[in-house]
Chains A and B, each alone.
Chain A
Amino acid sequence: MGVVIDNFDLYLSGFLTSVMICLWGLIGSLILGVIIATFRVSPIPILKWVGSAYVTVVRNTPLTLVLFFFAFGLPELGINTSYYAFGLAALIIYTSAFVCEAVRSGINSVSAGQAEAARSIGLGFGQSLTLVVLPQAMRTVVPPLGSVIIAMFKNSAVLGAFGVGGDLWSTGMDLSSAQGYAPLPVFIGVAVGYLCITIPSGLALQVIERKVAIAR
């Protein structure tokens, strides 16, 4: 495992780049996912349709294809930005579909009586959703959402194949191919890097789950 120690600074910068991708992806997909979930449970038919269509299309497309459409498709249409932005946008759009479904399952777990009670004291759709239903829904949603988030952290490794450089995965490729280190120890190091992201995330999710758990 000398290769990891010898190139620790490379691994560290790769790790930090990957962490940043994961953080932005997390923030972006939580926001977008909740918005799409709101669409799907709203009483307005057009929004309902948009939400369902989004989830159906995005959730059933492989992530590599979503990334491909961003990195190679949009430039064909004359849209140019950094590969980092393309990759992050694709990751957020892809993950949002799964976040949306997790949130929706949480909303469905809140008994209909809660929404009806909110409506009966004169709250509108928006108010009853944000003040009554979502706060309860978010508590049941922590475990399934946790799985989605951890899956996204691991999916972020694919961005390296679409022009995003300097992440953990690219670091491993660089060391094993150009610099001639044996691939196995190099990629064990890369795997450990990802574990350093996913395992603490899992522990944090457990803490959150315990904090917000409600006895029904």
Chain B
Amino acid sequence: MHRRIIGSRSAVVGAALMMTLSACGSIGGANVESRVEVVDNPVFDEGTTMARIVEDGRFRVGIKFDQPGFGLMRLEGGFTGFDVEIAQFVAAGLGFEPSDIDYYEAPSQRREEILEYDNVDMVVSTYTINDRRRERISFAGPYYIAGQQLMVNADDERITGPESFTEHPDATVCSVTGSTPSQEIQPYLANVSQLVLFDVYSKCADALRTGQVDSVTTDNVILLGFVAKSDGEFKMAGEQFTEEPYGIGITKGDVAFCEFINEQVQLAYDSGAYTEAWLDTAGSVEGAQTPELPEFDPCT
């Protein structure tokens, strides 16, 4: 899912410039127990990315710092989220404890760049696999399929799915500026004025509560978080209408590393660690469905 959440629009250009200019620093992970067994002194073929990482003694992972449920920097330090857990599964196979991973911020706009410039070894940040990105990098995975959905007020009967917007040309939908969901919803709309955009989803939820908009759209797991906190004011409407396969970004053409990552994710899934990790993070909100591991794309 390609999304950036920004505090204020007036800061956006500044932020955009900063992101293209500044190198991001790394922050160590929290002291947590690994859910899977950390391999002791693993040995890899000479010349592979895995061998280099073990030799350097550093594992650099790009994640989101501001995406609840997937990659979030906690106020008390350390990181939580499903993406962070996935990174830990890969780290364990390389002999790294969760606390030994170097985390870097990988905002949506810079994910391809930091891989191209070799600032990180891999990127796990709600990273939707698509062909445009495949031109610049390679993906391992997918490890999760997200889907876009709609949230409405609990007493709303009009909106039952994205098709409702053509039936009711006065119905409005709120999303976040520049996000993939804001793009995906547009073909369903009768006119552009039906789409209202803010910089963060909390403003959309507020507008829904006060009746300024009729619905909010983004990934189902994010909406479920709002529904859970709304005291029965909001509900989900209709089914998921997009499929966003989240992949793990790596340097283009690194087939060996891609296969290694897939292996680690598969091992974690088979041992039940994947499901545990899901239930503790993005899956902890009521109504979230526990995912099955999707079929991996071939490594290229």
Interface on A for B, CB 8 Å cutoff?
64, 71-72, 75-76, 80, 82-84, 158, 160-161, 163, 165-166, 169-170, 173-174, 176-180, 182-184, 187
Determine if B125 is an interface residue (Cβ-Cβ < 8 Å): no
Determine if B199 is an interface residue (Cβ-Cβ < 8 Å): yes
Q: A64-B10, A177-B179, A187-B16 are in contact. List 17 more A-B contacts (CB 8 A).
A: A72-B203, A75-B211, A158-B10, A163-B198, A170-B177, A173-B178, A174-B177, A176-B178, A177-B2, A177-B3, A177-B108, A178-B2, A178-B178, A178-B183, A182-B20, A183-B19, A184-B17
CB contact between A178 and one of B16, B180, B199, B203 (< 8 Å): that residue: B180
What is the number of residues of chain B that contact chain A, defined by CB distance less than 8 Å? 34
- Residue of B whose beta carbon sits closest to that of A175: B178
Cβ of B212 and Cβ of A80 under 8 Å apart?
A: yes
Q: Which 9 residue pairs are nearest across A and B when measured between Cβ atoms?
A: A177-B178, A75-B210, A161-B9, A183-B16, A178-B178, A173-B177, A75-B212, A163-B196, A173-B178
Q: Mark B171-195, 1 if CB is under 8 A from A, else 0.
A: 0000001111011000000001101
Cβ of B12 and Cβ of A75 under 8 Å apart?
A: no
Determine if B255 is an interface residue (Cβ-Cβ < 8 Å): no
Determine if B300 is an interface residue (Cβ-Cβ < 8 Å): no
Bound state CA distance, A158 and B20, in angstroms? 23
Q: Contacts A165-B193, A165-B197; is A180 near B182 (CB within 8 Å)? A: no
Cβ of A161 and Cβ of B10 under 8 Å apart?
A: yes
Q: Which residues of B contact A64 (CB under 8 A)?
A: 8, 10
Cβ of B9 and Cβ of A169 under 8 Å apart?
A: yes
B131-184, CB < 8 A from A: 132, 177-180, 182-183
Determine if B252 is an interface residue (Cβ-Cβ < 8 Å): no
- Residue of B whose beta carbon sits closest to that of A13: B192
Q: Which residues of B contact A161 (CB under 8 A)?
A: 8-10, 198-199
- Distance in Å: Cβ of A16 to nearest Cβ of chain B: 12
Bound state CA distance, A161 and B6, in angstroms? 11
- Residue of A whose beta carbon sits closest to that of B108: A177
Determine if B13 is an interface residue (Cβ-Cβ < 8 Å): yes
Q: Contacts A75-B210, A75-B212; is A173 near B132 (CB within 8 Å)? A: no
10 A/B residue pairs, CB under 8 Å, sorted by A: A72-B210, A80-B210, A83-B196, A161-B8, A161-B9, A165-B192, A173-B178, A177-B108, A177-B109, A178-B178
Cβ of B211 and Cβ of A180 under 8 Å apart?
A: no
- Distance in Å: Cβ of A194 to nearest Cβ of chain B: 12
Bound state CA distance, A211 and B182, in angstroms? 49
CB contact between B12 and one of A71, A76, A173, A178 (< 8 Å): that residue: A173
Determine if B288 is an interface residue (Cβ-Cβ < 8 Å): no
Q: Contacts A75-B211, A165-B195, A170-B177; is A180 near B8 (CB within 8 Å)? A: no
Q: Mark B83-117, 1 if CB is under 8 A from A, else 0.
A: 00000000000000000000000001100000000
**B-side interface mostly:** helix
Q: Which residues of B contact A71 (CB under 8 A)?
A: 212
- Distance in Å: Cβ of B116 to nearest Cβ of chain A: 13
Determine if B206 is an interface residue (Cβ-Cβ < 8 Å): yes
- Residue of A whose beta carbon sits closest to that of B179: A178
Determine if B35 is an interface residue (Cβ-Cβ < 8 Å): no
Bound state CA distance, A4 and B197, in angstroms? 22
Q: Which residues of A contact B198 (CB under 8 A)?
A: 161, 163
Cβ of B9 and Cβ of A173 under 8 Å apart?
A: yes
Bound state CA distance, A80 and B209, in angstroms? 12
Q: Which residues of A contact B16 (CB under 8 A)?
A: 176, 183-184, 187
Q: Which residues of A contact B182 (CB under 8 A)?
A: 174, 178
Bound state CA distance, A18 and B229, in angstroms? 37
Q: Mark B199-243, 1 if CB is under 8 A from A, else 0.
A: 100010011001110000000000000000000000000000000
CB contact between A177 and one of B132, B177, B206 (< 8 Å): that residue: B177
Bound state CA distance, A180 and B207, in angstroms? 27
Bound state CA distance, A132 and B2, in angstroms? 62
Q: Which residues of B contact A82 (CB under 8 A)?
A: 193
Cβ of B13 and Cβ of A187 under 8 Å apart?
A: yes
Cβ of A183 and Cβ of B13 under 8 Å apart?
A: yes
Q: Contacts A163-B198, A170-B197; is A180 near B2 (CB within 8 Å)? A: yes
Q: Contacts A75-B210, A178-B178, A183-B17; is A166 near B192 (CB within 8 Å)? A: yes
Bound state CA distance, A163 and B174, in angstroms? 9
